[in-house]
A and B are shown apart, each in its own frame.
Chain A
Amino acid sequence: MNQYTDRRYVFAVAIILVGLVFMIRLFQIQVIDKSYEQYALSNAQSVRVIYPARGLIYDRRGEIMVYNKAAYDIMITPRLLEPFDTTELCEILKITRESAIERLNSAKAYSRRVPSVFMKQVSYENAALFQEKMYQFQGFYVQTRTLREYTDSIASHALGYVGEVDQAILDSVPYYQLGDYIGVSGVEKAYEEHLRGQKGKTVFLKDVHNQTIESYQGGRLDETVEVGKNLTTTLDMELQAYGEKLMSPYVGSVVALEPSTGEVLALVSAPTYSPDLLVGRNLGVEFGKLAIDTLNPLFNRALMAQYPPGSTFKTIMALIGLQEKVISTRTEHHCYYGFYVGNIHTGCHLHETPLDLIEAIQNSCNTYFINVLKSILQDVKYTSTAEAYDNWRRHLRSMGFTEPLGIEMTNELNGNVPPASYFNRIYGENHWNYLTIRSLAIGQGELLVTPIQMANMTATIANRGFYIAPHLVKEIEGEDDIDDKYREKHFTTVDTSNYGPIVDGMDLVINGGPGSTARNARIEGITVCGKTGTAENPHGNDHSIFIAFAPKEDPKIAIAVYVENQGFGTTYAAPIASLMIEKYLTREVKRTWYENWVMQLIQPVAPVVKKNNISNDGTEE
């Protein structure tokens, strides 16, 4: 027998070891490592994406606002490239050789397999020419996309714009691929899922020569393209355009609402920009220009600017006073050029005295409303100023002052109504009273609101006690109704019966006799109710503010106008509001001279209002 019989075990063990190594390796590449499946898919599948047309946007009267135009992207798959005539390519696409090489290299750097954009938004003529000669350029193809077009260059802040998806979205939402478009702001962003539709795709099998063999698995993986849903916005295109026109010389904001529904009729933030700028391949450049503009046109003042409401807030003071039963319509206060306690002084302008509540609103008397605040905060129902203050704040909360109202746009900001704890912290507990915070009574001091909150406040008064959250979309194609939250009535903590006197006061502001602060907002045949305001501005001229709604009975429009640095509310804000109301209710403006004057196209003639009738708010000490 052979003495090396034991060596058989060396063989057996070696064979088993080899098998074991192979099986471990196979387990690793077949079971653990999933990446090979992806490679296999990209090897054998050729996916052609079909991009849906984005939904159209209409205004409330069915006029088209936003539609699409076709754009042609030249796509490239580096792996499939074959030598081609660079000069000819450059000629067709009108680019330089260097640019072509740079584009090629960046596509290669991105991926050799996955198609990427070689050149964005080529003109129809160039794309057609390219398509004709495409057989010479293996690895290229033309992808049709849609770009936004606007019937009128308005409402850029409300509509928002569409841009390419960024990395954060690519990472978090699997739907999007590099180079896809997405609503970046405004309605485009808020209703992205409706507007974008659903991308479709057809999947083909291809072989190693990249020849399409057949529909993959009989089209089982194909997805049909779904066109984007059309939207009807609440905006009134004409009113929006008119508001932007009137505001064009100014910095500020106009928000017009339909009180009964909370629908936004116009949302103006001035200065604005043309939505056409932020479309297509110039988006980046134009956005950059807008971003460094010192007037900050990208800033949506209607939703984000926090302003003191000024005297317009006196309406709210009156409402809360009545509700808390600390005043009545017959409550009178004397005023001699202001409010004096000891050495504390808040100025007021010349008007008759004493005034009752309605007259105080009509004349916008500072002294009167500081006294209202005093009555509210010294109410015996409450043990401390702080408690009374928080109760006052509770009413404001019910009117939507303490939180963003919830319009579709995510950038909406909140105003500022500090809680009692804030004053406790500043002045110390029980070391403050109505005198300390008296500027709140006249809409100054810590109090800040956004223009849309001011418009909502106006709508609440117009509705005599409730509001519906402002919103921009009226109808979505294919949906029964818009979001429930835009149907819900928010009743305020002030009873409907208490609104009557305030509405009467606001009527008199415009339609009253001498002492009315905004008789220049009067419209022939329409009972407009309003309230002026002037916000002190430590940085420059005062801000001009006006809120109004009309008609008095069954109001159709509530509006808030805020014009920065233009002085008294009556001067520019009131005429702008008045013209907007006229435009909306009668659909034409007869007072063209007034329009021209507002837009400072004609030299200012003497204002309609006498000097001593202008409210002069909040001159402290």
Chain B
Amino acid sequence: MVQRNSVFANLDWVSILLWMVMIGFGWMNIYSANIMEADNGIFDFSQRFGKQLIWIGASLLLAMLMLVLDAKFYIHFSYLLYILLLGILLGVLVFGREINGAKSWFVVGGFQLQPSEFAKAITALALANLLTSHSYNIKKFWHLVKALSIIAVPPMLILLQPDLGSVLVYSAFILVLFREGFSANVMLMLAALGLLFVTSLLLDKALILLFLIIITLIIYMVVARSVKKGLVNGLIIAMVFGVLYGINYLLKTEFSLFLIGLAALVPVALVITVKGMRLREYAQMKILVGLIVSIVFIISMDLAMNKVLKPHQQHRIYVTLGIEDDPQGVGYNVNQSKIAIGSGGFSGKGYLQGTQTKLHFVPEQSTDFIFCTVGEEWGFLGTSFVILLYLGFLLRMIFLAERQRSSFSRIFGYGFISVMLIHFIVNIGMTIGLMPVIGIPLPFFSYGGSSLWTFTMFLFIFLRLDASRLELLR
């Protein structure tokens, strides 16, 4: 007999079990990564493994607290919490302490708190509230803008700190919008822009422009159902380009190929625009707009890379994309991380037997690079176990989210899933050299209270909502 109003009877114990396994195994690895420094037992609170025990204890209390609160509390107070959060984020900019070049920490007593971590869960609450508000329609432009604003404001405040990793995490909320009906085409476009971003770093701008023009012409041919028209337009562009190039050469004005290419596009673009306006044929103009958006994107990316991103961030991206190779410099972290993981072999060197992690070859070995300890000491068996653990956990979360009658609960659940997923992808991806080194922790594994509490909070709010799934209808 299902007890409708009992939280504990309706709790998803499978998730809690997986959560405990992750925290437990994570702590074992934090212990191993720090054991060399001192050996005063596991309750040595001057050591990270000792501190982490405190964080874990606290997170248990936090979990209880989350469960004790009424499910409706999260719904009704979500906006209030969100506004409170924005205040805190502003506060940290003013009163926070700078650690590792990022002013994102409050220091209370001996403990450091990173409010941007908690922001994720609260943003998810606010987003869920918005998307479930009366007559909300994601298809409507201004409604979408509202949702995007809720997502974008916290990272914009965080960006002032600045912490690229957190900003990246917020982009994961777009996945939530996707689940709630956000256009698949737009998602594809975003993916295309991502691809364009990577290629714009890899290739010369002029070359990308050439590819874009070719692709646009092909699309044009398909839409206009005429190969001839496409070829004629292409030929005109090429001829204008040739003339401009010749003038540029003769006058020695030294405009770049990219600029000449842009100029060469102008006549054709003008003709299409004028024709399209007159005939009220917008199909061709849409293609043109796509091209222009792409070009603007490349230019802004170029500016962003060179002006906004800090040199070390640029380097990390370049190293990850294989444009630069520098095993002693920026690539050092990734290189050492791969060595540690790779040296684990199939079954690992044995618990507490890792040399690479213990001898500090791997940087940030108990926080962002905790996965190295797993890889080195537990081998492929261990790393597979962790990945399957996450897979199981995330799929379980999808299952839970999808069984909600309440959209609020589902949206919040997907918020959690998306944030977990991006952490999982970026963190493990960077330790094995598939992602740039962006310092975001591995949920439930990495050392650190803020991260552990955030995800615990996230999970248990969701589990609390899930436990009330039979009551909540909105």
B-binding residues in A (CB < 8 A): 2-5, 7-8, 10-12, 14-16, 18-19, 21-23, 25-27, 29-31, 33, 35-37, 39-41, 43-44, 205-208, 213
Residue of B nearest to A112 (CB): B328
Is there contact, CB below 8 Å, between B361 and A7? no
Contact, CB under 8 Å: B359 / A207: yes
Tell me which residues across on chain B come within 8 A of A39, comparing CB atoms.
Answer: 339, 342-343
Contact of B356 among A22, A23, A40 (CB under 8 A): A40
Identify which of B104-112, B172-180, B309-317 touches chain A.
B172-180
Chain B residue nearest to A40 in the complex (CB): B343
Is B339 touching A43 in the complex (CB atoms < 8 A)? Answer: yes
B328 to chain A, nearest CB (A): 8
Instruction: Please state if A8 and B398 are interface contacts (CB–CB under 8 Å).
Output: yes
Instruction: Report if B346 contacts A (CB, 8 A).
Output: yes
- 5 pairs of residues in contact across A and B, judged by CB atoms under 8 Å: A15-B398, A19-B390, A30-B341, A40-B340, A41-B343
Provide the residues of chain A in CB contact with B376, threshold 8 Å.
40
B360 at the interface (CB under 8 A from A): yes
Give the residues in chain A near B379, CB-CB below 8 Å. 30
- Decide: A37 near B345, CB < 8 A? Known: A8-B402, A30-B379, A43-B339: yes
Question: Are A22 and B432 interface neighbours, CB within 8 A?
Answer: yes
A3, A15, A41: the one within 8 Å of B391 (CB): A15
Which residues of B have CB within 8 Å of A207?
359-361
Given A8-B402, A37-B342: A26 touches B380 (CB 8 Å cut-off): yes
Q: Which residues of B contact A16 (CB under 8 A)?
A: 391, 395
Contact residue among A19, A36, A206 (Cβ-Cβ distance under 8 Å from B388): A19
* Contacting pair B424 A18 (CB below 8 A): yes
Check B384 for interface membership: any CB of A closer than 8 A. Answer: yes
Residue of A with least CB distance to B340: A40
| Interface contact B343-A22, CB-CB below 8 Å | no
Q: Find out whether the CB atom of A31 lies under 8 angstroms from the CB atom of B346.
A: yes
- CB contacts (< 8 Å) of B338 on chain A: these are 29, 36
Query: Residue on A with the closest CB to B343?
Result: A40
User: How near does chain A come to B322, taking the closest CB pair, in angstroms?
Assistant: 15
B47 at the interface (CB under 8 A from A): no
> Is B346 a contact partner of A43 (Cβ separation < 8 A)?
no
Residue of A8, A10, A36 near B342 (CB, 8 A) is: A36
A594 nearest CB across to chain B (Å): 74
A interface footprint on B374-397 (CB within 8 Å = 1, 0 otherwise)? 011001100110011011001100
Q: A26-B384, A29-B342, A208-B359 are in contact. List 9 more A-B contacts (CB 8 A).
A: A4-B181, A8-B402, A19-B391, A22-B434, A27-B380, A31-B380, A36-B342, A39-B339, A205-B355
- Chain A residues with Cβ below 8 Å from B417 are 11
Q: Are B424 and A33 in contact (CB under 8 A)?
A: no
Which residues on the B side are within 8 Å of A208 (C-beta)?
A: 359-361
Q: Shortest 4 CB-CB distances between A and B: which pairs? A: A36-B342, A40-B343, A44-B355, A207-B359
Report the Cα distance A488→B412, complex, angstroms.
Answer: 93
Question: Is A40 touching B391 in the complex (CB atoms < 8 A)?
Answer: no
CB distance from A109 to the nearest CB of B (A): 16
**Contact, CB under 8 Å: A43 / B391:** no
Q: How many angstroms from the CA of A371 to the CA of B107 in the assembled complex?
A: 117
B334-356 contact mask (Cβ, 8 Å, vs A): 1 or 0: 00101111111110000000011
Among A2, A3, A21, A33, residue most surrounded by chain B Cβ atoms (within 10 Å):
A2
CB distance from A229 to the nearest CB of B (A): 37
Is B285 located at the chain interface by the 8 A CB criterion?
Answer: no
Residue of A nearest to B401 (CB): A8
Choice from B341, B359, B388 contacting A29 with Cβ under 8 Å: B341
B429 within 8 Å of A (CB atoms):
yes
Whole-angstrom distance from the CB of B421 to the nearest CB of chain A? 6
Which residue on A lies nearest to B363, using beta carbons?
A208
Measured between alpha carbons, how far is A491 from B372 in the docked complex, in Å?
A: 72
Task: Given the known inter-chain contacts A18-B425, A22-B387, please indicate yes or no for A36 contacting B341, CB distance below 8 A.
Answer: yes
Contacting residues, chain A, for B284 (C-beta < 8 A): none
Closest to B405 in A: A1
Q: Residue B199 at the A interface, CB < 8 A?
A: no
Bound CA span A144–B401, Å: 70
CA distance A10 to B177 in the complex (A): 13
Residue picked from A5, A18, A41, most chain B C-beta under 10 Å: A18
> What residues of A have a CB within 8 angstroms of the CB of B344 in the complex?
30
Q: Given the interface contacts A18-B424, A31-B345, A37-B345, does A205 sit within 8 Å of B359 by beta carbon? A: yes
From 148 to 183 in chain B, residues with beta carbon under 8 angstroms from any chain A beta carbon are 175, 178-181
Q: Return chain A residues, CB-CB under 8 Å to B178.
A: 7, 10
* Residue in B closest to A37 when the chains form the complex, CB atoms: B343
Give the residues from 222 to 258 in chain B that come closer than 8 angstroms, CB to CB, to chain A.
none
Determine whether the beta carbon of B375 is less than 8 Å from that of A30: yes
Cα–Cα distance between A2 and B424 once the two chains are bound (Å): 28
Chain B positions within 8 Å of A30 at CB level: 341-342, 344-346, 375, 379-380, 383
Identity of the chain B residue whose Cβ is nearest the Cβ of A35 in the assembled complex: B342
B428 at the interface (CB under 8 A from A): yes
Q: Does B15 reach chain A (CB closer than 8 Å)?
A: no
CA distance A333 to B456 in the complex (A): 119
- Closest CB of chain B to A17's CB: distance in Å? 10
- Interface residue? B10 (CB, 8 A): no
Residue of B nearest to A213 (CB): B359
B383 CB contact (under 8 Å) in A8, A12, A14, A26: A26
Cβ of B394 and Cβ of A15 under 8 Å apart?
A: yes
Q: Inside 8 A of A5's CB, which chain B residues have their CB? A: 402
B407 on interface, CB distance cutoff 8 Å: yes
Q: B175, B346, B355, B410: which has the most chain A beta carbons within 10 Å? A: B355
Residues of chain B in range 396-448 having any CB-CB distance to chain A below 8 Å: 398, 401-402, 407, 410, 414, 417, 421, 424-425, 428-429, 432-434
In the bound complex, how far is the Cα of B413 from the Cα of A11, in angstroms? 13
A39 CA / B387 CA spacing, docked (Å): 25
A5–B407 Cα gap in the complex (Å)?
11
Q: Given A3-B181, A8-B402, answer yes or no on A23-B387 (Cβ-Cβ < 8 Å).
A: yes
Contacts of A23 in B (CB 8 A): 383-384, 387
CB-CB under 8 A for A21 and B434, given A26-B384, A208-B361? yes
